[in-house]
Amino acid sequence: MTADVVPLPRRRPTLDPMLALTAHGMNAVNAVILERMQSDIPLIPRLAGHLISGGGKRLRPMLTLAGAELVGYQGARHHKLAAAVEFIHTATLLHDDVVDGSELRRGKAAANIIFGNPATVLVGDFLFSRAFELMTEDGSLKVLKILSGASAIIAEGEVSQLTAQRQIETSEERYLQIIGAKTAALFAAASRIGAVVAECGEREEQALDDYGRNLGVAFQLVDDAIDYDSDAAEMGKDQGDDFREGKMTLPVIFAYARGTPEERKFWQAAIAGHRTSDDDLAEAIALIGKYDAVEATRDRARHFAARAVDAISIFPDGKARAAMAEAAHFAVARGY
Amino acid sequence: MTADVVPLPRRRPTLDPMLALTAHGMNAVNAVILERMQSDIPLIPRLAGHLISGGGKRLRPMLTLAGAELVGYQGARHHKLAAAVEFIHTATLLHDDVVDGSELRRGKAAANIIFGNPATVLVGDFLFSRAFELMTEDGSLKVLKILSGASAIIAEGEVSQLTAQRQIETSEERYLQIIGAKTAALFAAASRIGAVVAECGEREEQALDDYGRNLGVAFQLVDDAIDYDSDAAEMGKDQGDDFREGKMTLPVIFAYARGTPEERKFWQAAIAGHRTSDDDLAEAIALIGKYDAVEATRDRARHFAARAVDAISIFPDGKARAAMAEAAHFAVARGY
């Protein structure tokens, strides 16, 4: 890390205002989640519970609640819908772990390691179906359209990422497209739904969609930066996973673009899967440090976080807007 | 096979009347399927197309069309919904192949063998999302409820089957529960939707649901019988797959129940995964033959096919009802 980074806000941004804003609603959401992950087949709640009770932040349902709060929604419809959002996210994580052959998730053994790939795939399918049951019970075709569309885009993004895996020539543009689909689409949909239940109009919906989408990109960028950050304090997944899986994330794209011919040869071999030892990872982290690629990635994230904050400037200032703005700053400051 | 089996109808039952009944509608359904499996990510239509163009009978969407025909529906809404049903089915098959580690599907290399497990899981997710997009476009919350509920039940059935795998003590009742969920629930939903779009009332809906559910059980029973039938003419999947995967299907349940203590030891070892050679499979097929377990399974299937036929007796006689009845007889006669 260099000395001339863009200064952080004086007070370290946290997720606390967001947590406080949504605490009451999240109790209701968590009750729905617990109730609706049940099944007569005991393996289903056991496997789903491993991940769902596994210390995730539940950021996406929180976005739905915060969005509803921001537009002054007074009802309770969004509790079921926020639970549906979390189920879609959980299903995606379960399938991701199978796809990546992950060993750790949020610092614990991944579900596929404990329960095997078959059960993990199928319980993902179950949660995905449950998500659509919850939405159908709510009865809004508009919400169903938003979330079924987002789900298709997420799957496309995941396939796209798979196609880009081990492809050293992946550009920043392509990478941004991928994370826009695999991560930001659900952030956008989750946020938008807060305005949809309040029936407050397309302009407000779009503003919340923009907020969520930019926040999602910022979050993913920082997640990808942390995977190579030698100073990272917070590590949910095994550091170096992206490296060993040959995933082209922005820190690698920067280090490759800025590297010497010799260094590029290293990256080509590494991304192709021929450099996967701990020494190779140390070399990768050193090269990424040499070119400030983690900080450059955070800079990009800062840009998207700023866009997220500006997107909700159409709403009156207040507790909800402040909490959502700070969540965006928090997204970028994570792992420092 | 013994001589004293229940005689087949004089003319060998075929799917031809069903195919003729639904040919026109299936053109429209196939157009929706082809259009909606497209994506900017080329791997998606390539992988989906491998299975979708791979010679499946598309029986489930046909049930939707036949049901609509039976109740005299004149519109076109069911085309999109029938495509959604086929997408759900295709997603399930893709995930099944990953779960089972299948090598063959419909006589061709399974998608997971050609494209790998990761892409196969993700394209399944994509098709599943597309199914819900199609339903949402149709706009019937009733259909969404039926198909999201069926999807959750299918996933539960698949997990339940996984739990029963390699469990020699699995009973016929448990087995019927499993196939009722993993197979028959989608047959029931597909058929019911034909009446739902026609808005013709709960009695008609329930009759079509009963038809589809019983037909689905009959189909699965005969599929499972064929996997051990030494005389089987029609073999979509690798014969012996169920045996090597330690799946407790009805022919095994019968042979085990009727076997000598010595034979039971063989079955215990085989289902536990300690007898997987070609000789072991030959031994299993011989034991199943010794106790007429294939024919006994077909007998059970005949019972469910008869219930399917009787369920639609509330509708006026005519081309549609005759075609659907013959489809039920065909379900049982397959593989002879």
Q: What are chain B's domains?
A: 16-333 (1.10.600.10)
Q: Looking at CA atoms only, how far is residue A37 from chain B in angstroms?
A: 11
What is the arithmetic mean of pLDDT over A204-225?
97
Confidence label for B98 from pLDDT (cuts 50, 70 and 90):
very high
Q: Give the pLDDT confidence score for residue B238 in this predicted structure.
A: 65
Higher pLDDT among residues A113 and B231, named by residue? A113
- Which of B41, B117, B132 is opposite residue A160, by nearest beta carbon? B41
Tell if the CB–CB gap between B128 and A125 is shorter than 8 Å. yes
- Which of A121, A135, A149 is opposite residue B121, by nearest beta carbon? A121
Chain B residue set in contact with A, beta carbons under 8 Å: 39-41, 43-44, 91-92, 95, 98-100, 117-119, 121-123, 125-126, 128-130, 132-133, 135-137, 139, 141, 144-145, 148-149, 151-152, 154-156, 158-160, 162-163
What is the arithmetic mean of pLDDT over A10-33?
94
Confidence label for B7 from pLDDT (cuts 50, 70 and 90):
low
For residue A17, the cross-strand partners are none
Q: Give the pLDDT confidence score for residue B5 in this predicted structure.
A: 52
pLDDT reading at A39 higher than 50? yes
* Angstrom distance (rounded) from CA A143 to CA B195: 26
Q: How many helices (H) and strands (E) does chain B have?
A: 16, 2
Q: Are B299 and B6 a contacting pair, CB within 8 Å?
A: yes
Q: Say if residue B46 is exposed, middle or buried (CB neighbours under 10 Å; 0-12, 13-18, 19+).
A: middle
Q: Give the pLDDT confidence score for residue A108 in this predicted structure.
A: 83
What is the arithmetic mean of pLDDT over A180-195?
98
Taken as a whole, chain B contains a residue count of: 336
Higher pLDDT among residues A8 and A82, named by residue? A82
pLDDT reading at A17 higher than 50? yes
What is the arithmetic mean of pLDDT over A93-108?
86
Which residue from B minimizes the CA distance to A142? Answer: B136
Query: Angle between the B77-100 and A117-138 helix axes, to the nearest 10 degrees?
Result: 160
B273: left (phi over 0), alpha (psi -120 to 50) or beta: left
What is the arithmetic mean of pLDDT over A33-62?
92
pLDDT reading at A3 higher than 50? no
pLDDT reading at A9 higher than 60? no
What is the arithmetic mean of pLDDT over A110-134?
96
Give chain A positions within 8 Å (CB) of B132.
132, 144, 148, 151
Angle at A172 between CA A14 and CA A159, to 5 degrees: 90
What is the arithmetic mean of pLDDT over B288-296?
96
What ipTM score was computed for the predicted complex, to two decimals? 0.91
Q: Which two tokens stand for residue B139?
A: 């706009």
Long-range contacts of A199-207 (CB under 8 A, 24+ apart): A200/A71, A200/A72, A200/A73, A203/A314, A204/A71, A204/A314, A204/A315, A207/A311, A207/A312, A207/A314, A207/A315
Output the CA torsion sign for B24, B26, B31, B36: positive
The helix/strand/coil state of A270 is helix
pLDDT tens-digit series, residues B118-161: 999 999 999 999 999 999 999 999 999 999 999 999 999 999 99
What number of CA atoms fall less than 13 Å from residue B144's CA on the CB side?
28
* Angstrom distance (rounded) from CA B328 to CA B302: 9
Which residue from A minimizes the CA distance to B139? Answer: A141
pLDDT reading at B21 higher than 60? yes
Least confident of A109-113, A141-145, A298-302, B170-174: A109-113
What average pLDDT does chain A have? 93
- Which of A123, A132, A149 is opposite residue B148, by nearest beta carbon? A132
What is the arithmetic mean of pLDDT over B185-205?
97
Q: Which two tokens stand for residue A118?
A: 């078959």
Q: Which two tokens stand for residue B220?
A: 């699965």
- Which of B92, B99, B130 is opposite residue A152, by nearest beta carbon? B130
Q: Give the pLDDT confidence score for residue A7 in this predicted structure.
A: 52
Count other Cβ atoms within 10 Å, centred on residue B262: 7
Higher pLDDT among residues B105 and B47, named by residue? B47
Count other Cβ atoms within 10 Å, centred on residue A329: 21
Tell if the CB–CB gap between A119 and B162 is shorter than 8 Å. yes
pLDDT tens-digit series, residues B306-330: 999 999 999 999 999 999 999 999 9
Q: Which two tokens stand for residue B77?
A: 């809404």
pLDDT reading at A47 higher than 50? yes
Give chain A positions within 8 Å (CB) of B117.
98-99, 117
Q: Are B262 and B283 a contacting pair, CB within 8 Å?
A: no
Give the H or E element holding residue A109: strand A108-109
Q: Give the pLDDT confidence score for residue B84 in this predicted structure.
A: 98
Residues 6+ apart with CB under 8 A from B89: B60, B186
Q: Give the pLDDT confidence score for residue A36 in this predicted structure.
A: 97
Least confident of A8-17, A189-198, A264-273, B316-325: A8-17
pLDDT tens-digit series, residues B210-222: 999 999 999 999 9
Confidence label for B184 from pLDDT (cuts 50, 70 and 90):
very high
Confidence label for B2 from pLDDT (cuts 50, 70 and 90):
very low
Q: Looking at CA atoms only, how far is residue A231 from chain B in angstroms?
A: 32
Tell if the CB–CB gap between B122 and A155 is shorter than 8 Å. yes
What average pLDDT does chain B have? 93
* Angstrom distance (rounded) from CA A166 to CA A185: 24
Largest CA distance in chain B: 60
Strands A108-109 and B104-105: unpaired
